[in-house]
Amino acid sequence: MKARGVLLLVAGAMVAAGCSDSADEKPSGREGVEQVQDEMLEAVDDVVHDVAAATGIEFRSGNHSAVICGDSIDPVGVNQKVSLHFGPPPESTIEQAVSDAATALEDAGWSAERPTNPAIVVGENDDLTLQFHFGGAATEVSLRSSCVETSRDVANEYQDKGATDVEWR
Amino acid sequence: MAVTLAVPDGVLAAAKAAWDDAADGLDGAWRRLGKASTEGFSPAVAAAAEAFQDTWVTELKHRAEDAQEHSDAFVEVAGVFEFTDRASAEQARGLLAWTYRTAAIEVS
Amino acid sequence: MGDLELPAPVDAPHVLTSTPTRAATFANNLRAVTVQVKDVQEWAQAQGVPAGWQGDAREAADHTTTRFARRVDISEAALDRAVVATDRFEDRLARLTARRTRLQARRTTLNDEIDQLRTAIRDNVPTGATIAAWSATAADLRARASALVPDITSWNTDAADAEADYVRALRGVDEISEGRRAASDPARPDPDALTRGLRGRLDDPAALAAWWRTLSRAQKQALLTEHPHLVGNAGGVPAGDRDEANRAALYSDIDRLTRQEADGEITDEERAILANAEVIRAELNKHLDNLDPATGEHLLHLLGYRPGAFAGDGGVVISFGDPDRAAHVSVNVPGMTSEISSLPGNLDDTEALYESALRQSDGTVASVFWLDYDAPSGNPFASVDDLLDLGSVVSPDAADAGGERLSSFIDGLRASDQGEQAHLTTIGHSYGSTTLGHALQDGLPVDDAVLIGSPGVPEHSAADLTTADVWVGAMDNDPVTLLGADDGFGTLGGDPAQETFDARRFETGDGSADIRDGIANHTGYFRGHSLDNMGAIVANKDDEVSLVAERDRSSGDGHYETLPEWFVKSAVIGSGNAMLETAQQAIEDRVTMMERFGEVLSSGFGTLR
């Protein structure tokens, strides 16, 4: 129908000209926070396990936490972080561990960057950043998300939960 | 018969509160010492640490109880600190600062 | 054939069951216990027989308070010994961990090479040349194994000795009689003399650092459990010792105030202190297992703890990494509304910066979050008036006073720095940049200064402000940064992103132009390119920093809006976006209605065209 076609054209034009944010469809709200949390914990179960197997590092402990992004008086959303703590690579040099970790990241479909610091490898996948820092005494792993927009109340609610332990399956 | 100590106003109330604070302080101390974890130490180290904890938790607990008893020795009735007899007043006098060790005990 | 005998693969050193962090945690608990016992003992002793009493000893012994003080002193002496022994054990474990790392590196490399040579010999046909080469390699491997095996054996022995010594030390004070002997030991540290030494040097960090180095371990531990709040906040005292003192103060405060609260004996002021202490403890616990991978030591250091300062807002300073031993140190100064309750978000930013700098560094890094000044309260984003207040009504006095406190803190860091002087970067965000500006104006001894989201600094050129390298991060859609323009509203000083200021402006992106995203822009400097650039500055990789044009209304690249222009533009975009969302929904509703209408018509009247 001609009128319908015109309406659709106008709608399409306004969408194209307008709010670019809506085109990105980033997760938001409580649902968005839960979705990103699930993705992060899935990454722990998948790619982090792959790297641990490849380098021989032994899990010690880990936790997940959320903090507000924005100002504390006016939060705009939630950043999430998973912090994992492992032993040192038992049978390889740091350099070899970094190389093995990079390979495991790429095999799992993540990008792998080796920055200036030779003890670190950084993986990225969508909006998640995963960093391994190897050392002779320990290996520190951090997994970070970008800010998920939420209301002020939801942001404070997630921050107030504090840190919860991560299960290593 | 009323038995009182001849000390300036406020001294007995302050002593009661101070002994109560002391009891609280030592209470906090033995509890924290008791729950300090030895997990992650080798068995030999954990055993030595636990033996240390056992001795000093018991000691600090007893001292906390002493302090609480000392605080409870000061009984206020209608705004006045009174003692049951001369002996208990003498005991309470020993719980005050050194400067009051010769304060008079008044019986009326 | 030459000698192709290969050494056996070398076994690993024993595993260290007791770790430095376990010892540190136990020591922290012992110190908190000791602090509380010392408080009670000090009170009781002050009530008891005076020192040097020449009268009847029985009279003193009969005085209950005096007897109580002497009895509690026995526990205090035993605890002091246990604290010192645990502290020593922790240090030995840390050194053993570092040695083990080096031994492991030698061992894994050697074992790999043994394996490689074995494979080469097995898989290749020997010739005169290869045999000679293999022979030489085998000899080298045998020599290295001969050196490594006794080193590992020696390490195993030292690890066992460390444990045995600690066990012996604890067993030496696990009975009342042993505590009594410890209490009367003439070698026991004199707390009064130590306190005089400390108090006399509080205003001179360099002198304090030098004096502190002369103290024995027992003297240091005695002093920090006697006056934990004082030692923990004293510039010049090493970071590790400040951390120990502040944790002892923190845990003992929580124990005491929790008890008071349960008894209904807590004042409002104490309630605020307890709330602040609990926030700090929660953050320390969240990061309890964060270690420095190289040393195995706790990553977080509590360098400042003043939970009752600034009318209950509190002061706190926390570092990721040890600033005394790091090659690169950053100090973040936060802005308005910052108080201890905002610690989680602020620490997350600091940790993100730490990780970024670490990635880009070929040395060690420490990133400090410094909130030990009276930041003004208020929300600059609550309304247009509130934002303009930030520029006009909010006084620079707090920044000036804060700048002095920051200077004292930095002087303290410089005094306790070990080895080669650290490359030091200070980062001021929002009102924190104004505070940093005041400190720089007074000669703050740093290498780099970074001003992000700045409402203004108290000079109009970088050269007038400081001799340090000055960097600026300013999103053009961060309205706070538009306050300090020459034609702007602000009275906190000049916009350091202006071309005339002549600082180096690094890439941050401009943020979203929607007025509703003003806050997100202003608080978004610790992410993305902005974070990467700050990390590069902290790591002293100036060449890696991506620069953008400074602000200049007359230029193309550097052009930017005035604050009123920005408000108008962003408000239109903001309401436009809201209108678009409404219009889009209305159109979708209409289309749905039309489709339904079409279905109804076609079902009754044939296909709709």
Where b means 16+ CB within 10 Å and e means fewer, C194-212 reads: beebbeebeeebeebbebb
Q: Do C338 and C349 touch, CB atoms closer than 8 A?
A: no
| Three-state SS at A162 | coil
Nearest to C520 among A61, A76, A162 (CB): A76
Give the C window 1-20 contacts with A, CB below 8 Å. 12
The torsion angle over the Cα atoms of residues C131, C135, C141 and C144, rounded to 10 degrees, is: -160
CA distance C1 to chain A (A): 32
CA distance B103 to chain C (A): 13
H-helix segments, C12-127: 20-47, 57-62, 64-123
CA distance A59 to chain C (A): 12
What's residue A20's pLDDT? Answer: 39
Higher pLDDT, C562 or C22: C22
Test mutation, C21, C22, C110, C290, chain A, max A CBs within 10 A:
C290
What's residue C571's pLDDT? Answer: 76
| Partner-chain contact A116 C362, CB within 8 Å | yes
What's residue A42's pLDDT? Answer: 96
Residues C256 and C299 in one domain: no
Nearest to B52 among C46, C71, C174 (CB): C174
What's residue A16's pLDDT? Answer: 37
Strands (E), C170-314: 300-306
Residue segments in chain B with a per-residue pLDDT below the cut of 70: none
Assess whether chains A and C touch, using the rule of 3 or more C-beta pairs within 8 angstroms: yes
For C70-126, write each residue's pLDDT tens digit.
999 999 999 999 999 999 999 999 999 889 988 998 999 999 999 999 999 999 999
Which residues in chain A touch residue C348, judged by CB atoms under 8 angstroms apart?
A: 67, 79, 81
Give the A window 105-134 contacts with C, CB below 8 Å. 115-120, 122, 131, 133-134
- Residue C238: which residues within 8 A CB-CB, separation 6 or more? C209, C212, C324, C416, C418
| Partner-chain contact A1 C609, CB within 8 Å | yes
Q: Which pairs from C132-139 meet CB under 8 Å and 24+ separation?
A: C132/C2, C134/C2, C134/C4, C135/C1, C135/C2, C135/C3, C135/C4, C137/C113, C138/C2, C138/C3, C138/C4, C138/C5, C138/C6, C139/C3
Query: What confidence category does residue C464 fall into, taking pLDDT thresholds of 50, 70 and 90?
Result: very high
Residues C45 and C95 in one domain: yes
Residues C74, C81: Cα–Cα separation, whole Å: 11
Domain with C259 in it: 195-266
**Complex ipTM, two decimals?**
0.98
CATH number of the structural domain A27-165: 3.30.2030
H-helix segments, C124-175: 128-171
What is the residue type of A6? Answer: V
Residues C398, C395: Cα–Cα separation, whole Å: 7
Q: Domain of C419: which CATH number?
A: 3.40.50.1820
What's residue C132's pLDDT? Answer: 94
Residues C174 and C201 in one domain: no
Where b means 16+ CB within 10 Å and e means fewer, C279-315 reads: bbbebbebbbbbbbbbbbbbbbbbbbbbbbbbebbbb
Which residues in chain B touch residue C167, judged by CB atoms under 8 angstroms apart?
A: 44-45, 47-48
Which residues in chain C touch residue A85, judged by CB atoms under 8 angstroms apart?
A: 289-291
Residues C21, C555: Cα–Cα separation, whole Å: 56
Q: Looking at the predicted structure, is the pLDDT value of residue C387 above 80?
A: no
What's residue C239's pLDDT? Answer: 98
For C524-540, write each residue's pLDDT tens digit.
999 999 999 999 999 99
For C283-299, write each residue's pLDDT tens digit.
999 999 999 998 888 99
Which residues in chain B touch residue C77, judged by CB atoms under 8 angstroms apart?
A: none
For C236-263, write each residue's pLDDT tens digit.
999 999 999 999 999 999 999 999 999 8
Q: Mean of the per-residue pLDDT values for chain A? A: 85
Assess whether chains B and A touch, using the rule of 3 or more C-beta pairs within 8 angstroms: no
What's residue A118's pLDDT? Answer: 96
Residues C172 and C87 in one domain: yes
What's residue C584's pLDDT? Answer: 59
Over residues A79-84, the mean pLDDT reads 96
Residue A126, class by beta-carbon neighbours within 10 Å (0-12 exposed, 13-18 middle, 19+ buried)? exposed
Q: Looking at the predicted structure, is the pLDDT value of residue C224 above 70?
A: yes
Over residues A57-83, the mean pLDDT reads 89
Residues C324 and C176 in one domain: no
CA angle C445, C446, C449 (to 5 degrees): 135
Residue C121 tokens, joined: 């010999």
Over residues A141-160, the mean pLDDT reads 92
Residues C233, C239: Cα–Cα separation, whole Å: 10
CA distances, B25 to each of A66, B21, C1 (Å)? 35, 6, 79
| Three-state SS at C271 | helix
Residues C105 and C202 in one domain: no
Residues C239 and C296 in one domain: no
For C160-219, write each residue's pLDDT tens digit.
999 999 999 999 999 999 999 999 999 999 999 999 999 999 999 999 999 999 999 999
Give the C window 492-521 contacts with A, CB below 8 Å. 512, 517, 519-520
Those residues of chain B whose CB sits closer than 8 Å to some CB in chain C are 18, 21-22, 24-33, 36-42, 44-45, 47-49, 51-52, 54-56, 59-60, 63, 66-67, 70, 91, 94-98, 101
Give the C window 320-349 contacts with A, CB below 8 Å. 337-338, 341-342, 344-345, 347-348
Residues C47 and C126 in one domain: yes
What's residue A95's pLDDT? Answer: 92
Q: Do C412 and C235 touch, CB atoms closer than 8 A?
A: yes
Residues C419 and C466 in one domain: yes
Residues C260 and C142 in one domain: no
CB count within 10 Å of CB C12 equals 15
- Out of C184, C217, C246, pick the residue that ends a domain: C184
Higher pLDDT, C32 or A68: C32
| Three-state SS at C369 | strand
Of C233, C252, C248, nearest to C316 by C-alpha is C233
Of A52, A34, A69, nearest to A139 by C-alpha is A52
> Taking CA atoms, what residue in C is nearest to B45?
C167
Whether residue C607 lies inside any domain: the answer is no
Q: Looking at the predicted structure, is the pLDDT value of residue C505 above 70?
A: yes
> Taking CA atoms, what residue in C is nearest to A20?
C577
Q: Looking at the predicted structure, is the pLDDT value of residue C137 above 70?
A: yes
Higher pLDDT, A37 or A3: A37
Question: Domain extents for chain A?
Answer: 27-165
Q: Looking at the predicted structure, is the pLDDT value of residue A56 above 80?
A: yes
Higher pLDDT, C217 or A93: C217
For A100-139, write each residue's pLDDT tens digit.
999 999 999 999 999 999 999 999 998 899 999 999 889 9
What's residue C590's pLDDT? Answer: 56
What's residue C598's pLDDT? Answer: 45
Q: Count interface pairs B-C at CB distance under 8 A.
A: 132
The radius of gyration of chain B's CA atoms, rounded to the nearest angstrom, is 19
CA distance C71 to chain B (A): 8
Question: For chain C, how many structural domains are there in total?
Answer: 3
What's residue C165's pLDDT? Answer: 98
Nearest to B44 among C39, C167, C252 (CB): C167
Query: What confidence category does residue A2 fall into, taking pLDDT thresholds of 50, 70 and 90?
Result: very low
| Partner-chain contact A18 C584, CB within 8 Å | yes
CA distances, C39 to each of B26, B36, C226 (Å)? 9, 20, 8
Q: Looking at the predicted structure, is the pLDDT value of residue C599 above 60?
A: no
CA distance C235 to chain B (A): 29
A30 touches C at CB < 8 Å:
no
Within 13 A of C86's CA, how many CA atoms are on the CB side? 29
Residues A21, C295: Cα–Cα separation, whole Å: 45
Residues C418 and C496 in one domain: yes
Q: Domain of C20: which CATH number?
A: 1.20.1270
Nearest to C49 among B49, B52, B98 (CB): B98
Q: Looking at the predicted structure, is the pLDDT value of residue C579 above 60?
A: no
Residues C215, C222: Cα–Cα separation, whole Å: 10
For chain B, the DSSP string reads: --EEE---TTHHHHHHHHHHHHHHHHHHHHHHHHH---TTS-HHHHHHHHHHHHHHHHHHHHHHHHHHHHHHT-EEETTEEEBSSHHHHHHHHTTS-GGGTTPPEEE-
Of C47, C102, C89, nearest to C70 by C-alpha is C47
Of C221, C192, C197, nearest to C209 by C-alpha is C197
What's residue C567's pLDDT? Answer: 75
Whether residue C176 lies inside any domain: the answer is yes
Q: Do A123 and A129 touch, CB atoms closer than 8 A?
A: yes
What's residue C90's pLDDT? Answer: 95
What's residue C454's pLDDT? Answer: 94
Give the C window 5-34 contacts with B, CB below 8 Å. 17-19, 21-23, 25-26, 29-30, 32-33
| Three-state SS at C493 | coil
Over residues C31-50, the mean pLDDT reads 97
Whether residue C152 lies inside any domain: the answer is yes
Q: Do B29 and C36 touch, CB atoms closer than 8 A?
A: yes
Question: Given a contact as 3+ CB pairs under 8 Å, which chains touch B?
Answer: C
Residues C89 and C219 in one domain: no
